[in-house]
């Protein structure tokens, strides 16, 4: 069996997803227990206990989710679709508990300037960062604010230097890989998340850029999060994994004796409420209880992966160069048989 380096994965003849690869421990680990592995990191001027960011989707990150993730040492990006943004502007106490907020391309600059008084991070929430309007908006915000700027999304590293030159501090990587995203089906755009991440990361390295890389989409489990960090991502953005928790916006619905909550893509009809091109689905997910349980499971899985890979911190994990490419049968063999 061949052991692949990151460069070899990047040069692979097919587009790869998280299900196509696995991490291979090739050294005797000096980590006695997973509790020794440290998952904290610095991200855009913040010290995070875990490299987890919530997606600014209207069924994922409202005010309650953003506050709780801050308490748990993660980052919640407040969605731009409801009154939460207005609450931040009105209540300074809310602003101090929420560190990041998303805005649209057409959000007036005056509102963004007001938000930046309290928020460390502004996320320009668009589907396609490879757009002149995104560059223009980024430049506008940078001229009037000291806030860090996240833009997205991209699937390849070809334009990374232009985005950094415009003022972007972090980029969301992934097009069409979200569980309720139909962009690839509707448009034919996008590649596998592993290949997307590596393309962007190698572009950053080759051009000596400083922009942070967020793996956005396709994360189904703590193991996928570990793979994304091992590939070199600075943080991982979650949507579906956080959906259905108590802190997400929306009511808990009881149906056939089971509790559920709504989950939908940002470009779904339920969000747009207009008869126009739709690039997202709507669904129901089982109620999961408090989000702390999900964050704890991700932390435990990431620490365990680090102990296997002989890594005491995330920077060591990002230096991983031992990967396997899985056949379909090899992937299926790993799934629990119950």
State pLDDT tens for residues 214-266. 999 999 999 999 999 999 999 999 999 999 999 999 999 999 899 999 998 76
Each residue's pLDDT tens digit, 276-315:
554 567 889 999 999 999 999 999 999 999 999 999 999 9
Cis-peptide, bond into residue 215, ω within 30° of zero: no
Is the model's pLDDT at 179 over the cut of 70?
no
DSSP 126-166: -S-SSSHHHHHHHHHHHHH---EEEEEEESSSTTHHHHHHH
Is the model's pLDDT at 183 over the cut of 90?
no
List the structure tokens of 327. 């056949």
For residue 273, the number of C-alpha atoms closer than 13 Å in the C-beta half-sphere is 2
Catalytic residue among 41, 74, 181, 235: 181
Looking at CATH, the fold of the domain delimited by 13-245+292-319 is given as TIM Barrel (3.20.20)
Q: How far apart are CA 208 and CA 270, in angstroms?
A: 41
Domain layout of the chain by residue ranges: 13-245+292-319
- Segment 186-196 mean pLDDT: 90
- Residue scoring higher pLDDT (39 or 95): 39
- Asked which of 37-51, 55-69, 78-92, 266-280 is least confident by mean pLDDT, the reply is 266-280
| Cα 285 to Cα 75, 244, 272, 330, 335, distances in angstroms | 22, 6, 21, 28, 21
Crossing angle for the helix pair 63-71 and 291-308, nearest 10 degrees?
40
Each residue's pLDDT tens digit, 107-158:
999 989 888 887 899 999 998 999 999 999 999 999 999 999 999 899 999 9
Is 123 noted as a catalytic residue in this protein? no
pTM above 0.85, yes or no: yes
Which residues, in sequence order, are CB contacts of 21 under 8 Å at separation 6+? Answer: 4, 9, 194, 227, 323, 324, 325, 326
| Cα 147 to Cα 106, 126, 187, 322, distances in angstroms | 18, 18, 33, 37
Highest mean pLDDT, choosing among 110-119, 183-192, 327-336: 327-336
Is the model's pLDDT at 269 over the cut of 60?
no
CA–chain centroid gap for 118, Å, is 22
What pLDDT shows up at residue 92?
A: 63
- Residue scoring higher pLDDT (317 or 89): 317
């Amino acid at each position: 069996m061949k052991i692949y380096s990151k460069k070899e994965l990047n040069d692979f003849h097919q587009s790869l997803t998280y299900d196509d690869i696995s991490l291979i421990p090739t050294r005797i680990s000096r980590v006695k227990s997973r509790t020794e592995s440290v998952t904290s990191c610095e991200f855009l001027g913040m010290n995070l206990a875990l490299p987890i960011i919530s997606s600014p989707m209207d069924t994922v990150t409202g005010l309650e989710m953003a506050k709780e993730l801050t308490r748990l040492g993660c980052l919640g990006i407040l969605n731009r679709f409801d009154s939460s943004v207005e609450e931040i502007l009105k209540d300074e106490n809310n602003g101090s508990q929420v560190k990041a907020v998303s805005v649209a391309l057409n959000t007036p600059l005056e509102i963004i300037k007001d938000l930046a008084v309290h928020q460390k991070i502004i996320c320009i929430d668009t589907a396609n960062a490879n757009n002149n309007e995104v560059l223009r908006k980024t430049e506008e915000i940078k001229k009037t604010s000291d806030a860090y700027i996240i833009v997205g999304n991209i699937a390849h590293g070809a334009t990374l230097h232009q985005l950094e030159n415009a003022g972007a501090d972090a980029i969301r990587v992934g097009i069409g890989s979200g569980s309720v995203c139909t962009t690839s089906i509707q448009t034919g755009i996008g590649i596998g998340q592993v290949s997307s991440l590596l393309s962007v990361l190698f572009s950053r390295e080759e051009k000596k850029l400083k922009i942070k890389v967020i793996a956005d989409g396709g994360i189904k489990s703590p193991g996928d999060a570990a793979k994304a960090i091992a590939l070199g991502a600075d943080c991982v953005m979650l949507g579906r994994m956080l959906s259905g928790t108590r802190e997400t916006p929306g009511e808990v619905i009881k149906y056939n004796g089971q509790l559920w909550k709504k989950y939908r893509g940002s470009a779904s009809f339920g969000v747009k409420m207009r008869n126009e091109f739709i690039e997202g689905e709507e669904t129901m997910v089982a109620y999961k209880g408090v989000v702390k349980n999900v964050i704890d499971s991700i932390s435990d899985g990431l620490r365990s992966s680090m102990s296997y890979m002989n890594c005491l911190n995330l920077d060591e994990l990002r230096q991983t160069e031992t990967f396997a490419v899985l056949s379909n049968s090899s992937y299926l063999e790993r799934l629990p048989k119950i």
